[in-house]
Structure 1
Amino acid sequence: MGELSIEHLFKAYGNHPVLADMHFTVNEGEFVSILGPSGSGKSTLFHLIGGILEPDAGDIWLDGEKINGKRGSISYTPQTPSLLPWRSILKNVMLGGEIQGNIDKNEAIELIEYAGLSGYENAYPFELSGGMKQRAAFIRSLLSPQPLICLDEPFSALDEFTRLEMQKWLLSIWQEHHRSILFVTHNIEEAIFLSDRIIVLSQTPAYVKEIFTIPFSRPRDEDLLLTEEFLAWKKTIYRGLGNDVQKNY
């Protein structure tokens, strides 16, 4: 479950085209990252996949079902944690299952403990650090029943140390649960470290410029970031971005 197929999507706002013949796939249990310049339509793409918007042309398929304009098919984590301030952490992470009528309190508590948030079950979001709130937001996505999780730059507001810790934590919990993930980032190192494949977008109107398959075995640890092979891949993807995109990095 969690196979996504984007087939020749077009989207414009008035006379301003945003997406032009966008097509790619995410396989079951795969971690795919999207790299592209600011304003290249990444958020629009997520809104289309999530059913908030409908494409002007083209189709979106999830596990063989066309989901154009259909909400509730995916789980989504935005740049900011978007936890409900009046709900405890436990009630926040159980929200998706609660909406779908599928609540497993024991699993929620287990994942909270795995995330290093044991003791904060009854705390409120204002009592947590940025990294802790992002962990809670991702647990909420994991506990939602949808087979595909879309992550929109979830670590962009974190400092470098916290960001690396969150990347390692995300990999550890993803490798255990193996949900399909579509991850948007502006950080090339982050994309290489996390992903099975990286999709590079052009400037608007955006299309898939290139797709890179990352060869590093799993599990991965931070020592990988210091290897010559990792640096070589960083250079390759940077060059693949092209001159029209590199100025954004």
Structure 2
Amino acid sequence: MGFLEIKHISKSFNGRNVLDDISLEVQEGEFVTILGPSGSGKSTLFHVIGGLLVPEQGSVMLDGENITGKRGFISYMPQQPALFPWRTVLENVMLGQELHEKRDVEKATAMIEKAGLKGYEYSKPSELSGGMKQRAAFIRALLSPHSLICLDEPFSALDDFTRLEMHQWLLSIWAEFRRTILFVTHNIDEALFLSDRIIVLSSNPARVIHEVKVPFEHPRERDLLLMDEFLTLKKELYEAVGRL
């Protein structure tokens, strides 16, 4: 499962409208990216989906159930890995399982190996590179029992080379486990390389102003970034963002 419906969501702070009548859907197993400039309300929308904020108007539906204002229904990965420094990699990735009393050390160990972190199971976060920390954080999200994973600009702090490596790794893991992913970024290349669909938000307040269905097959390789069709879609998205 993992079918998300956002219906007419509006949210304001101190009289300032941040989200204005936002409606969108994410199909089961789909990778959808929300694209918009910094300050366009992308993270606020995630907080509404996760139940951390309650909208003045609208509803959030997951697999037909109204989860508006309810916590614990999605897996959320913030911009920073947010690993507990006193816990090992294995203990960190199992946190979501522990919260739902579903510890599976064998599965967690296998996922750590798939993430290229074999040998680091008992290492602390301080011993990992930035990319390794992000892999551990994503494995923690995958190991949670939730059908929807929300990723809030998880690669923004990485250098370009590590970011591209993480893109390919993320897609390989997603292709295998096919969880529903809602991804937030302000990076157009990142959005095009990763997504099935891209939804562009305006800012002040955030509204859905454009949508692109990404036609590229999986798996995706680095040379995609230089293909004419990729560059044409990139231009379309630049123009959409430029209208903000």
For the aligned pair, the TM-score class normalised by the smaller chain equals over 0.9
Which amino acid in 2 is paired with 1:86?
Answer: W
Counterparts of 2:117 and 2:242, CA distance in 1: 42
* SS in structure 1 at match of 2:32: strand
Counterparts of 2:189 and 2:37, CA distance in 1: 15
Counterpart residue number, 1:119: 119
Which amino acid in 1 is paired with 2:149?
Answer: I
Counterparts of 2:205 and 2:243, CA distance in 1: 16
Deviations 1:125-175 (A, max 9, x none): 001000000000000000000100000000000000000000000000000
Counterpart residue number, 1:169: 169
Which amino acid in 1 is paired with 2:64?
Answer: G
Which amino acid in 2 is paired with 1:66?
Answer: N
Counterpart residue number, 2:60: 60
What is the deviation of 1:242?
Answer: 3.1
Counterparts of 1:157 and 1:47, CA distance in 2: 20
* SS in structure 2 at match of 1:71: coil
Counterpart residue number, 1:215: 215
Counterparts of 1:236 and 1:219, CA distance in 2: 23
* SS in structure 2 at match of 1:204: coil
Counterparts of 2:101 and 2:114, CA distance in 1: 24
What is the deviation of 1:218?
Answer: 1.1
Which amino acid in 1 is paired with 2:74?
Answer: I
Deviations 1:189-230 (A, max 9, x none): 110000000000011211101111001111111111111111
* SS in structure 2 at match of 1:110: helix
Count, aligned residues:
244
**Aligned: 1:154 with 2:171:** no
TM-score normalised by the chain length of structure 1? 0.97
Counterpart residue number, 2:16: 16
Counterpart residue number, 2:206: 206
> Which range moves more in the overlay, 76-85 or 233-242?
233-242
Counterpart residue number, 1:81: 81
Counterparts of 1:127 and 1:154, CA distance in 2: 19
Counterpart residue number, 2:139: 139
Which amino acid in 1 is paired with 2:139?
Answer: I
TM-score normalised by the chain length of structure 2? 0.99
Counterpart residue number, 1:247: none
Counterparts of 2:179 and 2:243, CA distance in 1: 34
Which amino acid in 1 is paired with 2:130?
Answer: G
Counterparts of 2:106 and 2:232, CA distance in 1: 44
Which amino acid in 1 is paired with 2:228?
Answer: E
What is the deviation of 1:23?
Answer: 0.5
> Which range moves more in the overlay, 136-145 or 205-214?
205-214
What is the deviation of 1:237?
Answer: 1.1
What is the deviation of 1:243?
Answer: 3.0
Deviations 1:26-69 (A, max 9, x none): 00000000111111111110110000111101000000000011
Counterparts of 1:239 and 1:10, CA distance in 2: 25
Counterparts of 2:62 and 2:242, CA distance in 1: 31
Counterparts of 2:219 and 2:37, CA distance in 1: 29
Which amino acid in 2 is paired with 1:30?
Answer: E
What is the deviation of 1:77?
Answer: 0.5
Counterparts of 1:132 and 1:10, CA distance in 2: 37
Structure 2 unpaired stretches of 5+: none
Counterparts of 1:130 and 1:111, CA distance in 2: 18
Matches within 5 A, 1:31-110: 31-110=31-110
Deviations 1:58-97 (A, max 9, x none): 0000000000111000000000000011110000000001
Counterparts of 1:123 and 1:201, CA distance in 2: 40
